[in-house]
Structure 1
Amino acid sequence: MAQPRTLALDAMGGDHGPEVVVPGAALSLERHPALSFILVGDEARIAPVLAAHPALEKRSRVIHTTHVVAMNEKPSQALRRGKGSSMWLALDAVRKGEAHAAVSAGNTGALMAMAKLILRPMKGIERPAIAALWPTVTAECIVLDVGANIGATSRQLSEYALMGAAMARALFHVERPTVGLLNVGVEEIKGAEEVREAHAALKKGVELPLDYRGFIEGDEIGQGRVDVVVVEGFAGNIALKTAEGTAKQIGQYLKDAMTRAFLSRLGALLARGGFRVLKEKMDPRRVNGGTFLGLNGLAVKSHGGTDALGFASAVDLGYEMAESGLLERLASDLETFHHRLGSDTHSSS
């Protein structure tokens, strides 16, 4: 039976604020009746939207603030001026133990900076990472880092592998998730020195709760070859944005082709069931939400421009991560990893 969980939502974050956050929370509540919410933001804007969702209203309380972090603020500015903002207070509810996770569609850089300051990195973690769900031909995989950091040492890449495996256990319910390192080739001599050193370190971790499969290339991510793909944040963010853009491009190609002539339109009508399935699989709202891993608390970043359905996916993700006991298991895995690899791991950082 699901345990009661409370999520703190930055109701003012993103392009649309409460008009998307509140309906999104209502959708997630339908799927997870054990949820309750702390909605942080301008009560005058939240209240009328919340009143349209009576079931959610009964399961929510509002923390009022009119202070909002702008989408274009630099992380350094957000840290200086952001205390007391809707984003800050949502994260602080997690720190205080009032909420099991925070969800925001706000400024990514500001959210990461605030989360690191308020929740603090876990013991043994040099840099937290952002992990994203990635659709594959078989199901889904997890890719990290997709933008929290530029560059990564071999130690940090190894930590990403452990963090991603912990998330995979939580979401995919597999005890030994398969893990691959994204590289320019599968040969041992290829790739940056940090990637090759991380590869060597992970090969030694034979007793870790993951199944390390070595190097994979970019075209193998969508094939579902592994449960977790590890990459430094610069390349990871480019890969993610490229995949999202390609999905939209293919969708437009199909739409244009199916409406070009009468026979094409007739074929589209006959194949509408198949196209509906394809559209659902390619819908980015279905896997909306990047998780900040490596902190003493859970924080989920939703796309800023998403709608209620997309925000509900981010809320679902926060709930599932809270329900899984991920933080406790990851802390244990990190301690084991650094103990076993000892000086080899630290000397490569």
Structure 2
Amino acid sequence: MKRRNFIKNTGIAGVALSATPSIFSKPILNELNMINKYPVAVATWNFQNATKMAGAELARGATALDAVEKGVMVEEANLKNTTVGNGGAPDRDGNVTLDACIMSPDGNAGSVVYLKEIEHPVSVARKVMEETPHVMLAGEGALQFAIHQGFKRKNLLTEESEKSWKKWLEHKEYKPIINIENHDTIGMLCLDSKGDIAGACTTSGLSYKINGRVGDSPIIGAGLFLDNEVGGAVGTGMGEAIMKSVGSFLIVELMRQGKSPQEACEEAVMRTVRTAPNYKDFQVAYVALNKKGEIGSYCIHKGFSYAKFYEGESTDNPSKSYLDS
């Protein structure tokens, strides 16, 4: 090799090595000279304990897939969170039924719906993705699969949740309370140090729902969707509205067309506003993350926020909204 070419080539290598990111290091420049901001973890609502867990996983070099699973498991095990996992509010008949899904960077996905007696449905969803040719398992079949995979049965109806349910039975009135009862999901997206994206979504669903109801959270394309070439999105709020618009899939496709995460989230919310005459009666909110680590969020009603963990710092980020009150 000629000396001139050798110096030229080693110089390029030196630049490449100097640009190699350390975990939670400053943003780096990719070959298109665009700023990349990763690894990063984001989640619906102010679930900072969850994003801190995911961020810690990313910091030690874990994959985005491992990070999102570990992250949402924090809230699945949180007895004070009555909208996710163990301690979740039951349906009208007193059953705690859980829904969850997970997506990997290669586009593979797993989901469980109407799952009882298993504290971590997201981990069962991952087993469905990795150990079966299927995407979704439901009800008794999902439970038996979980047991076969080594998961232990557990009573998920806590004393506090049971007490609240029995009090509700006195009137049996179902009236969604914006940003409270609809705050029923943790959806998380992680972008790891390699630039790969993964997502997970898990919930116990709407409080005192009709027995058998399944919302958007475990539905690929509704509560969660990602494409490792583009980015990902997660939704929360009134699941029925999110399912009708296939909101997370819509956001990813809008980003594929060149829209920013913020622009894509705004358009997805406006699809619901334009088609649902009663949109003022419920909340719909989205968070999106593209491959550069850029984040967007938008909702119908003021009050939604998302948690973010980046470069060792955890923050709560209020979302822009269509309505101010």
Give the TM-score taking structure 1 as reference length: 0.25
- Structure with larger RCO (C-alpha < 8 A, sep 6+): 1
Structure in which a larger fraction of residues adopt helix = 1
Give the TM-score taking structure 2 as reference length: 0.27
